[in-house]
């Protein structure tokens, strides 16, 4: 038995959170950690992204980058994603994952069914500079058929 002296009347209960809807969100990396793979033959960089704007402000989503893995393809994908993150926050030379913390970027979140359970989970599928999707492309140049001396 453990003595707690806890009063549930003074603390709001946690509620199960549904995944955030698929879409683009402004977020920051709030935490990062190197962890061993489940099989023990590699390592991944786990990044925690916190949404910082909009209806889902404060919610967190995660991604894992297989930075050391027997699968060359897994490492290639991880390095490509890390490059996209670095470019999105303009940190081109990375010495420590903490250098990526608290820098806003845009993440593209998808929803997918988990392989091991009948649940929907979030997956980050893209990284871009903050506001990348909010800024429409420049309009195409206007064609001017007038003769050069008549312009």
Over residues 30-36, the mean pLDDT reads 97
Separation CA 46–CA 55 (nearest Å): 25
- The gap from C-alpha 100 to its chain's centroid, in whole angstroms, comes to 12
78: helix, strand or coil: helix
| Cα–Cα distance, 9 to 20 (Å, whole number) | 29
Banded model confidence at residue 117, pLDDT cuts 50, 70, 90 = confident
- Residue 138 confidence class, pLDDT cut points 50, 70, 90: very low
Q: 18-132, what's its fold?
A: OB fold (Dihydrolipoamide Acetyltransferase, E2P) (2.40.50)
pLDDT at 126 over 90: yes
Compute the distance between CA of residue 69 and CA of residue 34 in angstroms, rounded to an integer. 13
Rounded to an integer, the average pLDDT of 96-102 is 97
Percent of the chain with pLDDT over 70: 88
Output the six-digit token pair for 123.
Answer: 């997956």
CA-to-CA separations, 125 to 92, 106, 121, in angstroms, rounded? 20, 11, 13
As a whole number of angstroms, the distance between CA 63 and CA 77 comes to 12
- All residues at 6 or more sequence positions from 103 whose CB lies less than 8 Å from its CB, including other chains: 28, 29, 89, 90, 91
Q: Kindly state the DSSP code that residue 118 receives in the 8-state scheme.
A: S
Q: How confident is the model at residue 144 (pLDDT cuts 50, 70, 90)?
A: low
For 124, the token pair is: 């980050």
Token pair of 143 as six digits:
């064609």
pLDDT digit string, tens, across residues 39-98: 989 999 999 999 999 999 999 999 999 999 999 999 999 999 999 999 999 999 999 999
DSSP assignment letter at 143: P
Q: State how far the Cα of 137 lies from the Cα of 91, in Å rounded to an integer.
A: 24
Report pLDDT digits (tens) over 12-26.
998 888 899 999 999
């Amino acid at each position: 038995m453990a003595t707690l002296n806890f009063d549930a009347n003074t603390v709001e209960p946690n509620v199960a959170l549904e995944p955030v809807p698929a879409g683009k969100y402004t977020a920051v990396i709030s935490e990062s950690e190197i962890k061993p793979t489940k099989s023990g033959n590699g390592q991944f960089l786990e990044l925690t992204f916190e949404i910082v704007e909009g209806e889902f402000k404060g919610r967190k989503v995660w991604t894992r980058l297989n930075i050391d893995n027997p699968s060359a393809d897994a490492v290639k994908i991880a390095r490509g994603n890390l490059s996209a993150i670095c470019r999105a926050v303009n940190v081109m030379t990375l010495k420590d994952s903490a250098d990526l913390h608290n820098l806003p970027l845009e993440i593209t979140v998808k929803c997918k069914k988990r392989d091991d359970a009948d649940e929907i989970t979030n997956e980050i599928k893209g990284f871009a500079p903050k506001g990348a999707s909010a800024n429409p492309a420049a309009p195409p140049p206007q064609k001017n058929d007038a003769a050069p001396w008549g312009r």
